[in-house]
Amino acid sequence: MTTAYRNLFRLDGRTALVTGSSRGIGAAIAKGLAAFGAKVVVHGQAPESTQSTCEAILEAGGACVAVHGDLAAPGAGRDLIRQAEEAEGLLDILVINASAQINGTLDTVTDEDFATQVNVNLRSTVEMLQACLPGMAERGWGRVVNIGSINQLRPKGIVAIYAATKAAQHNLIQSLARDYAPKGVLLNTLAPGLIDTDRNAPRRDADPEGWAAYVRQLNWMGRAGHVDEMVGAAVLLASDACSFMTGEAIVLSGGY
Ligand SMILES: NC(=O)c1ccc[n+]([C@@H]2O[C@H](COP(=O)([O-])OP(=O)(O)OC[C@H]3O[C@@H](n4cnc5c(N)ncnc54)[C@H](OP(=O)(O)O)[C@@H]3O)[C@@H](O)[C@H]2O)c1
């Protein structure tokens, strides 16, 4: 039995697509899944973007291929699943990580900003799930790890549209979790708080002192999270270790 416990988090023989894994949280999760034995399909918008993640996985002895594409266009989510399955075989694990975030108060939101966030964050999610859930169900095993945000639970005006798409995404995960639970396909959300990535660089670089003060009061740990701190929960949600958990959200926020 101890040996079985030891293997709970192993992903050998599993194939995983991590969207938006060229950098940031997605890159850390892709490397983490590969370290636990998964074959990983790394994704970024352009071919050159995925190089560093792939090199890191291969150097560490892992297996990966890369696929590319902007998820804003209609059909892009379905196309990405097709590309991934052609490249690496049928998917066992889907990590929905790529997202668009355009900050601004409600009066500044343009039709274009609205459409970009809804299309990348929600429409492509629906398309990817349509494309891979039936196959996972047929094979009797699947894991979907949706990367949400603290903003889906504790929203604020400056990210109102982004937060609404994240809340809708998790709601979708819950609906489908119920339908797919009897079929061995489990869907959960990992909701990060503030994590130090490129996404926050413009605000951080514009006012480093103001940013440091903001971060100190943001959560109980008084700091931003590191991308590597997202990996443990992602591996849990992608593995056999979460066999009795579906439709839930794990919040990794440093205490909020
Ligand atoms: N960082 C945070 O504080 C934070 C907090 C809460 C939740 N999150 C969530 O965590 C996830 C990752 O965030 P991050 O901070 O690691 O992001 P990031 O550093 O900004 O990286 C974004 C990733 O998404 C890809 N991407 C962006 N727009 C895309 C599009 N239109 N089509 C396809 N791919 C696209 C990028 O690809 P390219 O490299 O090719 O551009 C990149 O791989 C997101 O879902 C985000 O909402 C982040």
Q: Are 33 and 10 in contact (CB under 8 A)?
A: no
pLDDT in tens, 196-213: 999 999 999 999 999 999
Q: Is 70 helix (H, G, I), strand (E, B) or coil?
A: coil
Please state the φ and ψ torsions of residue 165, each to the nearest 5 degrees: -70, -35
Mean of pLDDT values over 232-239: 99
Per cent of the chain over pLDDT 70 is 99
Task: Give the 3-state secondary structure of 211-250.
Answer: HHHHHHHHCCCCCCECHHHHHHHHHHHHCHHHCCCCCCEE
- For the annotated catalytic residues, the residue numbers are 162
Does residue 125 have its Cβ closer than 6 Å to ligand 1? no
The mean of the pLDDT values for the chain is 97
Residue 167 has a pLDDT of 98
Nearest-atom index, ligand 1, CA of 230: 10
Q: Where are the domains of the chain?
A: 10-252
Nearest-atom index, ligand 1, CA of 21: 43
Q: Which residue has the tokens 């959560």?
A: 219
CATH 3.30.365.10 describes domain 10-252: no
Start-to-end CA distance of the chain, whole Å, equals 37
Residue 141 has a pLDDT of 98
**Which tokens is 43 given?**
């994704």
Q: Which carries the bigger pLDDT value, residue 137 or residue 1?
A: 137
pLDDT over threshold 90, residue 2: no
DSSP state of 49: G
pLDDT in tens, 73-124: 999 999 999 999 999 999 999 999 999 999 999 999 999 999 999 999 999 9
pLDDT over threshold 70, residue 220: yes
Of 95, 97, 125, the one to substitute when testing ligand 1's pocket (max ligand atoms within 8 A of C-beta) is 97
Q: Are 1 and 26 in contact (CB under 8 A)?
A: no
